[in-house]
Structure 1
Amino acid sequence: MADQTTKSIIVGAPVADVFAAWADFENFPRFMEDIKSVTRTGEKTTRWVARGPMGQDVEWEAETTRFEPNKRIAWRSTDDSPVTTSGQVTFNPLSPPQTEITVTLQYVPPGGIAGEAAARLLSDPEEMLEKDLRRFKSYVESGVTANR
Protein backbone atom coordinates (compact mmCIF):
# COMPACT_ATOMS: atom_id res chain seq x y z
CA MET A 1 0.00 0.00 0.00
CA ALA A 2 1.51 3.33 -1.08
CA ASP A 3 1.61 6.36 1.19
CA GLN A 4 1.71 9.93 -0.03
CA THR A 5 2.70 13.19 1.61
CA THR A 6 2.80 16.74 0.29
CA LYS A 7 4.50 19.75 1.89
CA SER A 8 5.27 23.29 0.75
CA ILE A 9 7.62 26.04 1.89
CA ILE A 10 8.51 29.54 0.72
CA VAL A 11 12.22 30.13 0.12
CA GLY A 12 13.60 33.66 0.05
CA ALA A 13 15.46 33.33 -3.24
CA PRO A 14 14.72 33.63 -6.97
CA VAL A 15 13.21 30.58 -8.66
CA ALA A 16 16.37 29.96 -10.74
CA ASP A 17 18.52 29.72 -7.59
CA VAL A 18 16.03 27.50 -5.76
CA PHE A 19 15.66 25.19 -8.76
CA ALA A 20 19.45 24.95 -9.23
CA ALA A 21 19.93 24.03 -5.57
CA TRP A 22 17.30 21.28 -5.73
CA ALA A 23 18.47 19.95 -9.10
CA ASP A 24 21.96 19.34 -7.67
CA PHE A 25 20.97 15.97 -6.18
CA GLU A 26 24.46 15.23 -4.84
CA ASN A 27 23.97 18.05 -2.29
CA PHE A 28 20.85 16.44 -0.77
CA PRO A 29 22.79 15.06 2.24
CA ARG A 30 23.41 18.70 3.25
CA PHE A 31 19.73 19.26 3.97
CA MET A 32 18.03 15.84 4.06
CA GLU A 33 18.70 14.31 7.43
CA ASP A 34 18.44 10.64 6.48
CA ILE A 35 20.14 10.82 3.08
CA LYS A 36 23.77 9.75 3.34
CA SER A 37 24.73 10.09 -0.32
CA VAL A 38 23.40 10.62 -3.83
CA THR A 39 25.58 9.66 -6.78
CA ARG A 40 24.80 10.37 -10.41
CA THR A 41 24.96 7.04 -12.30
CA GLY A 42 23.73 8.19 -15.71
CA GLU A 43 22.20 11.11 -17.55
CA LYS A 44 18.85 10.63 -15.78
CA THR A 45 19.70 8.15 -13.01
CA THR A 46 21.04 8.43 -9.46
CA ARG A 47 21.95 6.02 -6.66
CA TRP A 48 20.64 6.95 -3.21
CA VAL A 49 21.86 5.74 0.18
CA ALA A 50 19.73 6.54 3.24
CA ARG A 51 19.88 5.74 6.92
CA GLY A 52 17.33 3.02 7.46
CA PRO A 53 15.71 1.40 10.48
CA MET A 54 18.02 0.00 13.14
CA GLY A 55 21.15 1.47 11.57
CA GLN A 56 20.83 -0.44 8.30
CA ASP A 57 21.50 1.59 5.17
CA VAL A 58 18.86 1.45 2.44
CA GLU A 59 20.01 1.89 -1.17
CA TRP A 60 18.03 2.41 -4.35
CA GLU A 61 18.25 3.73 -7.89
CA ALA A 62 16.03 6.54 -9.14
CA GLU A 63 15.41 8.05 -12.53
CA THR A 64 14.37 11.60 -13.32
CA THR A 65 11.15 11.40 -15.32
CA ARG A 66 10.53 15.14 -15.83
CA PHE A 67 13.00 18.00 -15.74
CA GLU A 68 11.44 21.36 -16.58
CA PRO A 69 13.90 24.12 -15.61
CA ASN A 70 12.53 26.46 -12.95
CA LYS A 71 9.18 24.61 -12.94
CA ARG A 72 9.25 20.90 -12.04
CA ILE A 73 11.41 17.88 -11.32
CA ALA A 74 9.79 14.43 -11.09
CA TRP A 75 11.36 11.06 -10.32
CA ARG A 76 10.64 7.43 -9.57
CA SER A 77 12.66 4.52 -8.31
CA THR A 78 13.79 2.12 -11.01
CA ASP A 79 11.96 -1.19 -11.44
CA ASP A 80 14.82 -3.21 -9.94
CA SER A 81 15.17 -1.03 -6.82
CA PRO A 82 14.36 -2.47 -3.38
CA VAL A 83 12.56 0.80 -2.54
CA THR A 84 9.42 1.85 -4.40
CA THR A 85 9.12 5.63 -4.47
CA SER A 86 8.17 8.47 -6.76
CA GLY A 87 7.49 12.13 -6.47
CA GLN A 88 7.82 15.61 -7.78
CA VAL A 89 8.79 19.09 -6.69
CA THR A 90 7.24 22.15 -8.27
CA PHE A 91 8.67 25.66 -8.19
CA ASN A 92 6.32 28.65 -8.12
CA PRO A 93 7.96 32.09 -8.40
CA LEU A 94 6.44 34.64 -6.03
CA SER A 95 7.17 38.32 -5.59
CA PRO A 96 10.95 38.53 -5.95
CA PRO A 97 12.98 37.17 -4.47
CA GLN A 98 10.75 34.34 -3.22
CA THR A 99 9.84 30.90 -4.51
CA GLU A 100 7.26 28.45 -3.21
CA ILE A 101 8.28 24.84 -3.57
CA THR A 102 5.84 21.97 -3.16
CA VAL A 103 7.11 18.42 -2.74
CA THR A 104 4.86 15.39 -3.19
CA LEU A 105 6.27 11.97 -2.29
CA GLN A 106 4.71 8.57 -2.87
CA TYR A 107 6.39 5.54 -1.34
CA VAL A 108 5.81 1.94 -0.42
CA PRO A 109 7.66 0.98 2.76
CA PRO A 110 9.78 -2.16 2.31
CA GLY A 111 8.47 -5.31 3.93
CA GLY A 112 4.76 -4.89 3.22
CA ILE A 113 2.34 -4.12 6.05
CA ALA A 114 4.77 -5.18 8.78
CA GLY A 115 7.47 -2.97 7.28
CA GLU A 116 5.03 -0.07 7.03
CA ALA A 117 4.11 -0.41 10.70
CA ALA A 118 7.77 -0.54 11.72
CA ALA A 119 8.61 2.47 9.54
CA ARG A 120 5.83 4.50 11.15
CA LEU A 121 7.14 3.66 14.61
CA LEU A 122 10.61 4.85 13.69
CA SER A 123 9.81 8.02 11.75
CA ASP A 124 6.93 10.16 10.55
CA PRO A 125 7.39 10.83 6.81
CA GLU A 126 5.38 14.08 6.91
CA GLU A 127 7.39 15.43 9.82
CA MET A 128 10.64 14.32 8.19
CA LEU A 129 9.74 16.07 4.91
CA GLU A 130 8.76 19.23 6.77
CA LYS A 131 12.12 19.29 8.61
CA ASP A 132 14.03 18.57 5.40
CA LEU A 133 12.26 21.47 3.66
CA ARG A 134 13.15 23.83 6.52
CA ARG A 135 16.80 22.73 6.18
CA PHE A 136 16.61 23.23 2.40
CA LYS A 137 15.25 26.76 2.93
CA SER A 138 18.14 27.52 5.29
CA TYR A 139 20.63 25.93 2.87
CA VAL A 140 19.47 28.11 -0.04
CA GLU A 141 18.96 31.34 1.90
CA SER A 142 22.17 31.27 3.92
CA GLY A 143 24.32 28.52 2.49
CA VAL A 144 24.32 26.88 5.94
CA THR A 145 22.17 23.90 6.89
CA ALA A 146 19.91 24.31 9.90
CA ASN A 147 20.55 22.27 13.01
CA ARG A 148 19.19 18.77 12.79
Structure 2
Amino acid sequence: MVQIIETIDVDVPVRIAYNQWTQFESFPKFLDEVESITQTGETHTHWKVSVAGVTREFDAEITEQHPDERVAWTSTGGETEHAGVVTFHKLTEGSSRVTVQIDWEPEGLVEKLGSLVGAGTHAVKKDLKNFKEFIEAQGGAETGAWRGNVDA
Protein backbone atom coordinates (compact mmCIF):
# COMPACT_ATOMS: atom_id res chain seq x y z
CA MET A 1 0.00 0.00 0.00
CA VAL A 2 1.28 3.46 -0.94
CA GLN A 3 0.37 6.55 1.11
CA ILE A 4 0.42 10.07 -0.34
CA ILE A 5 -0.12 13.21 1.76
CA GLU A 6 -0.11 16.64 0.13
CA THR A 7 -1.26 20.09 1.25
CA ILE A 8 -2.02 23.36 -0.50
CA ASP A 9 -3.23 26.77 0.67
CA VAL A 10 -6.00 28.37 -1.36
CA ASP A 11 -7.16 31.97 -1.35
CA VAL A 12 -10.82 31.24 -0.72
CA PRO A 13 -12.72 30.74 2.55
CA VAL A 14 -12.82 27.17 3.85
CA ARG A 15 -16.56 26.96 3.11
CA ILE A 16 -15.95 27.66 -0.60
CA ALA A 17 -13.08 25.16 -0.86
CA TYR A 18 -15.14 22.48 0.90
CA ASN A 19 -18.26 23.15 -1.16
CA GLN A 20 -16.33 22.83 -4.41
CA TRP A 21 -14.72 19.58 -3.28
CA THR A 22 -18.19 18.06 -2.80
CA GLN A 23 -18.93 18.62 -6.50
CA PHE A 24 -17.37 15.35 -7.63
CA GLU A 25 -18.57 15.60 -11.21
CA SER A 26 -16.42 18.75 -11.60
CA PHE A 27 -13.20 16.86 -10.72
CA PRO A 28 -12.17 16.33 -14.38
CA LYS A 29 -11.75 20.12 -14.59
CA PHE A 30 -8.78 20.00 -12.20
CA LEU A 31 -7.76 16.35 -11.67
CA ASP A 32 -5.68 15.40 -14.72
CA GLU A 33 -6.15 11.63 -14.47
CA VAL A 34 -9.93 11.76 -14.00
CA GLU A 35 -11.92 11.36 -17.20
CA SER A 36 -15.35 11.36 -15.55
CA ILE A 37 -17.18 10.93 -12.26
CA THR A 38 -20.85 10.13 -12.06
CA GLN A 39 -22.71 10.68 -8.80
CA THR A 40 -24.82 7.54 -8.46
CA GLY A 41 -26.27 8.31 -5.01
CA GLU A 42 -25.78 10.65 -2.06
CA THR A 43 -22.63 8.81 -0.99
CA HIS A 44 -21.73 6.81 -4.12
CA THR A 45 -19.77 7.74 -7.23
CA HIS A 46 -18.50 5.94 -10.33
CA TRP A 47 -15.04 6.98 -11.54
CA LYS A 48 -13.28 6.59 -14.87
CA VAL A 49 -9.56 7.45 -14.71
CA SER A 50 -6.62 7.18 -17.05
CA VAL A 51 -3.16 6.76 -15.57
CA ALA A 52 -0.14 6.37 -17.87
CA GLY A 53 -2.45 5.45 -20.75
CA VAL A 54 -4.30 2.76 -18.75
CA THR A 55 -8.01 3.41 -18.26
CA ARG A 56 -9.68 2.06 -15.13
CA GLU A 57 -13.17 2.30 -13.69
CA PHE A 58 -14.26 1.88 -10.09
CA ASP A 59 -16.95 2.83 -7.62
CA ALA A 60 -16.31 4.80 -4.46
CA GLU A 61 -18.31 5.46 -1.33
CA ILE A 62 -18.14 8.53 0.90
CA THR A 63 -17.50 7.00 4.32
CA GLU A 64 -17.35 10.22 6.34
CA GLN A 65 -18.26 13.80 5.55
CA HIS A 66 -18.53 16.84 7.79
CA PRO A 67 -19.11 20.29 6.25
CA ASP A 68 -16.05 22.55 6.18
CA GLU A 69 -13.93 19.84 7.84
CA ARG A 70 -13.46 16.58 5.93
CA VAL A 71 -14.54 14.18 3.21
CA ALA A 72 -13.35 10.55 3.39
CA TRP A 73 -13.92 7.82 0.82
CA THR A 74 -13.00 4.28 -0.14
CA SER A 75 -13.23 2.36 -3.38
CA THR A 76 -15.94 -0.30 -3.31
CA GLY A 77 -15.49 -2.15 -6.54
CA GLY A 78 -13.79 -2.08 -9.87
CA GLU A 79 -10.18 -2.05 -10.96
CA THR A 80 -8.63 0.23 -8.34
CA GLU A 81 -8.18 -0.22 -4.60
CA HIS A 82 -7.77 3.00 -2.67
CA ALA A 83 -9.08 5.15 0.15
CA GLY A 84 -8.51 8.73 1.16
CA VAL A 85 -9.51 11.79 3.09
CA VAL A 86 -9.39 15.50 2.36
CA THR A 87 -9.43 17.95 5.25
CA PHE A 88 -10.10 21.68 5.26
CA HIS A 89 -8.58 24.17 7.70
CA LYS A 90 -9.35 27.87 8.04
CA LEU A 91 -6.22 30.01 7.85
CA THR A 92 -7.89 33.43 7.65
CA GLU A 93 -11.37 34.64 6.71
CA GLY A 94 -10.36 34.48 3.05
CA SER A 95 -7.94 31.56 2.88
CA SER A 96 -7.82 27.90 3.79
CA ARG A 97 -5.56 24.87 3.78
CA VAL A 98 -6.56 21.70 1.93
CA THR A 99 -4.79 18.45 2.83
CA VAL A 100 -5.26 15.23 0.87
CA GLN A 101 -4.23 11.78 2.07
CA ILE A 102 -4.61 8.87 -0.35
CA ASP A 103 -3.78 5.24 0.36
CA TRP A 104 -3.71 3.11 -2.78
CA GLU A 105 -2.53 -0.23 -4.04
CA PRO A 106 -0.54 0.09 -7.29
CA GLU A 107 -1.74 -2.34 -9.95
CA GLY A 108 0.42 -3.61 -12.77
CA LEU A 109 4.02 -2.87 -13.68
CA VAL A 110 3.54 0.75 -14.77
CA GLU A 111 1.81 1.81 -11.52
CA LYS A 112 4.27 -0.13 -9.35
CA LEU A 113 7.25 1.48 -11.09
CA GLY A 114 5.54 4.88 -10.95
CA SER A 115 4.97 4.55 -7.21
CA LEU A 116 8.65 3.78 -6.71
CA VAL A 117 9.69 7.07 -8.33
CA GLY A 118 6.98 9.14 -6.64
CA ALA A 119 4.72 9.62 -9.67
CA GLY A 120 1.60 9.46 -7.49
CA THR A 121 2.89 12.15 -5.16
CA HIS A 122 3.75 14.40 -8.11
CA ALA A 123 0.29 13.81 -9.62
CA VAL A 124 -1.52 14.68 -6.38
CA LYS A 125 0.63 17.79 -5.91
CA LYS A 126 -0.19 18.90 -9.48
CA ASP A 127 -3.90 18.14 -8.99
CA LEU A 128 -3.99 20.28 -5.84
CA LYS A 129 -2.29 23.11 -7.72
CA ASN A 130 -4.94 22.71 -10.43
CA PHE A 131 -7.67 22.79 -7.75
CA LYS A 132 -6.20 26.01 -6.34
CA GLU A 133 -6.14 27.64 -9.79
CA PHE A 134 -9.67 26.39 -10.55
CA ILE A 135 -11.32 27.56 -7.32
CA GLU A 136 -9.48 30.89 -7.20
CA ALA A 137 -10.39 31.57 -10.86
CA GLN A 138 -14.07 31.12 -9.93
CA GLY A 139 -13.88 34.50 -8.20
CA GLY A 140 -14.48 33.03 -4.76
CA ALA A 141 -17.59 31.09 -5.78
CA GLU A 142 -18.08 27.34 -5.90
CA THR A 143 -19.98 25.56 -8.68
CA GLY A 144 -22.26 23.89 -6.13
CA ALA A 145 -22.32 22.32 -2.68
CA TRP A 146 -23.47 19.28 -0.76
CA ARG A 147 -23.39 20.00 2.95
CA GLY A 148 -24.79 16.77 4.34
CA ASN A 149 -23.14 14.82 7.14
CA VAL A 150 -21.96 11.25 6.76
CA ASP A 151 -20.74 9.63 9.97
CA ALA A 152 -18.00 7.04 9.95
- TM-score, normalised with respect to structure 1: 0.87
Which consecutive segments of 4 or more residues in structure 1 shift more than 2 A? Answer: 114-123
Unaligned runs of 5+ in 1: none
Deviation of the 1:139 alpha carbon? 0.5
**Higher deviation after alignment, 93-102 or 120-129:** 120-129
- Structure 2 partner of 1:77: 75
The structure whose residues are more often helix, as a share, is 1
Higher relative contact order (CA 8 A, sep 6+): 2
The structure whose residues are more often strand, as a share, is 2
Count of aligned pairs between the two proteins: 139
- Structure 2 partner of 1:46: 45
- Structure 2 partner of 1:128: 123
Opposite residue 134 of structure 2, the aligned amino acid is: Y
Report matched runs for 1:11-22 at 5 Å: 11-22=10-21
User: For residues 41 and 18 of structure 1, what CA distance do their matches in structure 2 show?
Assistant: 22
User: For residues 103 and 33 of structure 1, what CA distance do their matches in structure 2 show?
Assistant: 16
Deviation of the 1:52 alpha carbon? 3.0
Deviation of the 1:72 alpha carbon? 0.3
**Higher deviation after alignment, 39-48 or 114-123:** 114-123
Q: Tell me whether 1:98 sits opposite 2:95 in the alignment.
A: yes
Deviation of the 1:118 alpha carbon? 4.0
Opposite residue 74 of structure 2, the aligned amino acid is: R
User: For residues 49 and 123 of structure 1, what CA distance do their matches in structure 2 show?
Assistant: 22
User: For residues 111 and 92 of structure 2, what CA distance do their matches in structure 1 show?
Assistant: 40
Unaligned runs of 5+ in 2: 140-152
